[in-house]
Amino acid sequence: MKKVVSLAALTALLAGCMDLNSSSTPATYGSGLDEEQLTTTDNTLNTNAYLMAAAPKYYIGSAYKIEDVQYIPAEDLTYNQTGIAGIVPVELNGSKTSDGETFDSNQFVATSKTLPLPTIAKVTNLDNGSSVIVRVNNRGPFVNTRIMDLSAAAARQIGMTGTAKVQIQVLPTESTTVKNATLGETVQVTTNQTQPTVIQETVVEQQVQTAPVATSGEYSVQVAAVYSEDNANALARELAQYGNAVVVREGDMYKVRIINLDAANARRVIDSLRSDKGMAPGLLKSGKWINADSI
């Protein structure tokens, strides 16, 4: 029988593992051999009120590599992917997550290599059709063979006892709500799971360019990489105040960057985006990724 966990308004905070701020491979869990194997059949569920609670911080992070594969964390409300999921070892209970929460294997939480933290997502076990709503609040798994690890409780809810093929769908309304709650912004919450209607209060006259990354040796600050061209253009318009904001198309992705910056201006833009927007932008020099704090 398909099982779907409902969302509730909430107040409790969750937390977990580690922060990623550089392009180096993270050094915590995820060897690919140590994912949890469930043997219990206990189906007792804790309250899911924490799912929509504000986190200690809204975390995206910089680009990083795992075994020469690069991952670029970014906002993507259209995220819908399939892949292999595992189970977070219960031994990590009490550890700090990347958004400052405390990991609890009895809550419906999960890890992602690229989604913002926290994000609300629906995970479906493709072997049996069972689904669960999870709060993605930590980076990982740090192996290239899996795209997500679930807490023991979330895995049990969809019949996982080890790795399984899953579909992961970001819930845009709930994810936007929890983001704004974390950033301290007041928003109107809708009751369905469709994309909310955006009311445009001001008209921005600047047209967003579609341009390649500067190749003159200068710096570019990447803010997001999304699958929706409309979302990328809207974000670029919003960020025009910080510099020459453009949308760069690479394959199916639309990447929002502020280009043609010298080192001083790149540092200023990065610091401003962190303090003003709660963002964690990446940094490129001559089209190559470098540590955002190296300048």
Q: Whole-model pTM?
A: 0.53
- CATH for 76: 2.40.40.10
Question: Strand, coil or helix: what is 79?
Answer: coil
The rounded percent of the chain whose pLDDT value lies above 70 is 72
How far apart are alpha carbons 109 and 90 in whole angstroms?
12
What is the model's pLDDT at position 42?
Answer: 36
pLDDT band at 168, cuts 50/70/90? very high
Q: What tokens were used for 193?
A: 């799971």
Please state, in angstroms and rounded to a whole number, the distance separating the CA atoms of residues 124 and 143. 21
Whole-angstrom Cα distance, residue 10 to residue 49? 4
Task: Give a yes or no: residue 190 inside a domain.
Answer: no
The pairs formed by 27-34 with CB atoms below 8 angstroms and a separation of 24 or more are 28/140, 28/142, 29/88, 29/89, 29/92, 29/140, 29/141, 29/142, 30/140, 30/141, 30/142, 30/143, 30/149, 31/143, 32/141, 32/143, 32/145, 32/146, 34/89
Residue from 81, 72, 116, 80 nearest 97 by CA: 116
For 14-42, the pLDDT digits (tens) are: 333 333 333 333 434 433 334 444 433 33
pLDDT of residue 274: 81
pLDDT of res. 185: 55
Domain interval for residue 260: 209-290
- Ramachandran sector of residue 260 (left: φ over 0; alpha: ψ -120 to 50; beta: rest): left
pLDDT digits (tens, 9 = 90+) for 215-256: 355 899 988 877 778 888 888 888 999 999 999 887 777 888
Query: According to the model, what pLDDT value does residue 153 have?
Result: 94
Q: Report the CATH number at residue 268.
A: 3.30.70.1070
Q: What is the pLDDT of residue 29?
A: 47
Residue type, 117: L
pLDDT band per the 50, 70, 90 thresholds, residue 1: very low
pLDDT per residue over 89-117, tens digit each? 988 989 999 999 999 999 999 999 999 99
Domain assignment present for residue 34? The answer is: no
pLDDT value, residue 58: 93
- Mean pLDDT calculated for residue range 264-271: 90
Q: What share of the chain is helix, strand, coil (3-state, %, to 5)?
A: 20, 30, 55
Domain endpoint, select from 183, 200, 235: 183
- Is 41 inside any structural domain? no
184-224, pLDDT tens digit by residue?
A: 853 333 333 333 323 233 323 333 333 333 335 589 998 88
Q: Are residues 106 and 157 both part of a single domain?
A: yes
* Residue 25 domain-assigned (yes or no): no
Regarding whether 217 and 118 lie in a shared domain, the answer is no
Domain check: are 237 and 126 in the same one? no
Give a yes or no: residue 158 inside a domain: yes
Domain membership of residue 258 (yes or no) is yes
